[in-house]
Structures are given as C-alpha cells and as structure tokens.
Amino acid sequence: MSNSRTSPDELLIGLVSISDRASTGVYQDQGIPALQDWFSRALTSPWRMETRLIPDEAAAISQALVELVDQVGCDLVVTTGGTGPARRDVTPEATLAVATKEMPGFGEQMRQISLHFVPTAILSRQVAVIRETPNHAALIMNLPGQPKSIRETLEGLKDADGKSIVGGIFAAVPYCIDLIGGPYVETDEAVCKVFRPKSAIRNKTTPTP
C-alpha cells in the first residue's frame, strides 16, 4: 500500500489483529473483518485500510505500529486483542512503547462502555496514544477482541428509542485527527455521530451554477 492519497481527505487506517492462534491459522481471525465492516458502515468520507495479523509478541506489535504510521502513513491505527491481564497480553505495553503522547480518556471510556455488560471489563487494559514523527502524526487505539465488543466500543449504546446511553469512542476520533493534522473525517450519523466544536466544522460549499 502506498502512502499517497487519492484525495486530500482520504483517511488511511491501519487495522491490526493480535492473536497467537489466528496468526498461525489455528482459527480464522474475526477482529479485522469486524473492524472493516464497522468502518464500511460508519465512514462517509474516503478511506483506505492496511491490515496486519500478528502474534502476541510485543516486538512484533510495536514494529507493526511503527511501520503503519511512519512508512504507510496511516492517520489512525486500531488494534484488536491482547489487552487483558494474561501473561501473553502485551498489546498495551507495545503500544505505549511507540507513543509520543498518551490519550487516557479513550481507555477510560472503553471500560465504561464495557462495564454496562460485564463486571470483568475492569480487567481490560486498552490504551490510546499519539505517535508523532517530524512530518506526520497518528492516533493509535487498542480495542477489545470480540466483534460485538468492537462495535459497542466504537459506536456506544442506545436505548430502544435510539437515545444514547453511553457514547462510543469514535465520536471523538475525527476531531482528534483534525488536531494532529490529519484528513477531515465524516460519518453516517445513524451509526456514529461525530462531535466537533462549531469552529472546527467544515462548511459544505454550494456548487456554483
């Protein structure tokens, strides 16, 4: 994948699934298909993805994150898997190892969402960080491993009437990407409504007759 964009607003997303068994073919990976499906439904602005399926090895995870940001030029990198307390769960450590800035609010909100379903959500150690190079910056986020949890974490929870119970983390992602110099990301509000301050909302220009 080239880091050249087909348009200035094309979002380059790195999707990284971390699993010893899936990476060796013991079972089929579910993380990347779940993420691809969600972004396909949620994003209305141009985007392109690069995928990686790797084992629970800290060095391999860090290497993949650095490659996706520094060489591919991804604006957003999303990992799935490897965030629990087990000995082999090293995704947060590998993510922090390549970070320039920590973004603790993302992890806090992810656990709040998951706690609506299971008390063991407090065992999750997901983090989010910014990685900066001299000419580029990207947001890196750790997500859960289960497809249902991935969707709930990204878009949040609504009641039977469609009223938000708890906000998903992706609502804040486009503005974060704005702030680090990335493309302007827009979404289908039926899936995930983005929040930006009024001063940061791009006016849609009316075509000249």
CA angle 94, 97, 103 (to 5 degrees): 95
Distance (Å, rounded) from C-alpha 42 to C-alpha 49?
A: 14
Is 192 in contact with 170 (CB distance < 8 Å)? Answer: yes
Q: What is the pLDDT of residue 205?
A: 52
For 23-148, strand residue ranges (E) read 47-54, 76-80, 101-102, 128-133, 136-143
Q: What is the pLDDT of residue 203?
A: 79
Is 173 in contact with 100 (CB distance < 8 Å)? Answer: no
Amino acid symbol at 89: D
Q: Domain map of the chain by residue range?
A: 11-195
CATH number of 11-195: 3.40.980.10
pLDDT in tens, the chain (209 residues): 345 688 889 999 999 999 876 656 656 788 999 999 999 999 999 999 999 999 999 999 999 999 999 999 999 999 999 999 999 999 999 999 999 999 999 999 999 999 988 999 999 999 999 999 999 999 999 999 899 999 999 999 888 887 888 889 999 999 999 999 999 999 999 999 999 999 999 976 544 44
CB-side neighbour CA atoms (13 Å) of 107: 19
Report helix, strand or coil for 176.
helix
